[in-house]
């Protein structure tokens, strides 16, 4: 079994700093090593170099999976809206990435049948999320309507105590409920 990477044994904040520097792409290995050593990390140039190669390989796979997922989204037409849509797109990114990595490890490529099945699954998930979003909107609208009606009922007691006429109260109630006043 190969020895555990010294980079992966570093504390999380230092690894995050290393990842940030590698993702930025503006620093040389020597600059990164010097910076990490200033932070107290006992790293060597070769360890950072190996980690950098792994980092770039994973980053390349992620970029490729996002491109594939974006292509699926364009083929499907409308991209789902709301948080659920974003979650679904991220799931698709991960699924494509995992499928692609598994195929690459086996020396295979993603064939047309697999791609078609994945596209259909994505389309079905997107349709389900749209239904969920529509339901959520209806629930929120109903809750808002009920809250406004409660506010209007509470305000009617205050209007009665203040001695408002039915016309005055009708105008206030219409404003609370957000409805048009019937000019009489």
Q: Give tens-digit pLDDT for 147-180.
A: 888 887 877 777 778 888 888 877 887 787 777 7
CA distance 143 to 9: 51
Coil vs helix vs strand at 128: helix
Return the pLDDT at 144.
86
Return the pLDDT at 31.
92
CA distance 138 to 28: 54
Pick the closest to residue 169 from 153, 148, 150 (CA basis): 153
Return the pLDDT at 34.
92
Residue ranges in the chain modelled with pLDDT below 50: 79
Q: Is the dihedral of CA 137, 141, 144, 150 positive or negative?
A: negative
* Predicted TM-score of the model (pTM): 0.41
CA distance 160 to 131: 44
Return the pLDDT at 67.
75
Angle (CA) 42 35 19, round 5°: 85
Tokens 């044994």 belong to 9
Return the pLDDT at 129.
64
Q: 139: Cβ–Cβ under 8 A, 6 or more apart, which residues?
A: none
CA distance 125 to 104: 26
Return the pLDDT at 17.
87
Pick the closest to residue 18 from 42, 35, 40 (CA basis): 35
Return the pLDDT at 77.
56
């Amino acid at each position: 079994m190969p020895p555990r990477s010294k980079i992966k044994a570093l504390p999380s904040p230092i690894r995050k700093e290393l990842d940030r520097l590698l993702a930025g792409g503006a620093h040389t290995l020597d600059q990164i090593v010097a910076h990490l050593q200033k932070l107290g990390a006992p790293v060597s140039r070769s360890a950072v170099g190996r980690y950098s190669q792994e980092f770039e390989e994973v980053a390349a796979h992620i970029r490729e999976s996002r491109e594939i997922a974006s292509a699926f989204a364009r083929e499907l037409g409308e991209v789902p809206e709301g948080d659920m849509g974003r979650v679904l797109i991220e799931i698709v990114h991960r699924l494509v990435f995992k499928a692609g990595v598994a195929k690459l490890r086996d020396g295979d490529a993603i064939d047309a049948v697999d791609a078609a099945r994945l596209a259909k699954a994505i389309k079905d998930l997107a349709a389900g999320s749209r239904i969920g979003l529509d339901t959520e909107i209806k629930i929120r609208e109903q809750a808002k309507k009920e809250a406004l009606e409660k506010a209007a009922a509470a305000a009617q007691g205050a209007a009665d105590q203040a001695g408002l006429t039915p016309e005055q109260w009708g105008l206030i109630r219409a404003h609370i409920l957000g409805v048009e006043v019937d000019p009489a």
